[in-house]
Structure 1
Amino acid sequence: MNDIPAIAEHNRRVVEHFLAGTHAPDLSGLSVIDETVDPSIRGYGFPGGLDPVDLESYKQFFRVFRGAFGNMTFKIHSLVADAHHVAARFEVHVDHVAPFAGIQPDGRRVVFEGMALYGMKDGRIVRTWLQIDQLSLLQQIGAVPVARAA
């Protein structure tokens, strides 16, 4: 593929497929990761200090996060692609159902926004730079107190 618009569109579809699978309401399997992510994957900025360093740790992040937060709804606000990157801006709604970051669950609904930049090579994800509103997430699960206005 030497056609940059076609490569960008292919990359966008790969990431869209990845996000649909990893953020489905019921994460029954991680096969979408094997289909879309390169074994050399590296991740940066993942919550809980769970930055992936290989394919297995990438899958483990989703196992841990999805184990702690159930009943997920996920909305992509924007998805922009070029020949080497795909950027996604999204919103996540989940229930805190199991311990995360040492915080016991209380079942409350948690809502946060984030952005991810995916580095692409040969139609597969090789890097993920994740930036979510971790402060809001940690405040909502009770790990960080909410500042009160004076």
Structure 2
Amino acid sequence: MRKGYTENETAIANILTEANILWLALTDNDAPYCVPVNFAVEGNVIYIHSGKRGRKAACLNTGATVAFSTAVDVRMRQGGDNACDQGYLFRSVMGHGTPRLVDDDEKMHGLDLLTVKHLGKQLPYKEAALPATVVYAIDVENISARIKE
């Protein structure tokens, strides 16, 4: 594995815990499509939520493999007087997996994980919003981290 890359589960888990946004790379008939999403992780599963319609949902509903990435602690590294000596320091995670639409019980579990991750506590949901919301579980097939500190 290249310098700075790792498959260390603790390093990956720490980055995923700190990150707020996951960049999700999808493909449809038109072109590749990349979208930022809120997410939560449990084990080897990434949970995201979506409306039932739209390009993101249509891509996820195909079950085609998706790629994802996130980064934390992104900052400029000051180099010398040469442009090639400049760069960034960061901790990032990248990987891919297969999305699946989850059933009602797992849907509520996924929403609860998202709520606690992003709001710090469990809150009630608007009953009217739940039927229009779907949750996808991305079963992670490959994941690694890159750390440049």
What is the TM-score with the length of structure 2 in the denominator? 0.27
Larger radius of gyration: 2
Q: Which has the higher contact order (CA 8 A, sep 6+)?
A: 2
Flag the structure with higher strand content: 2
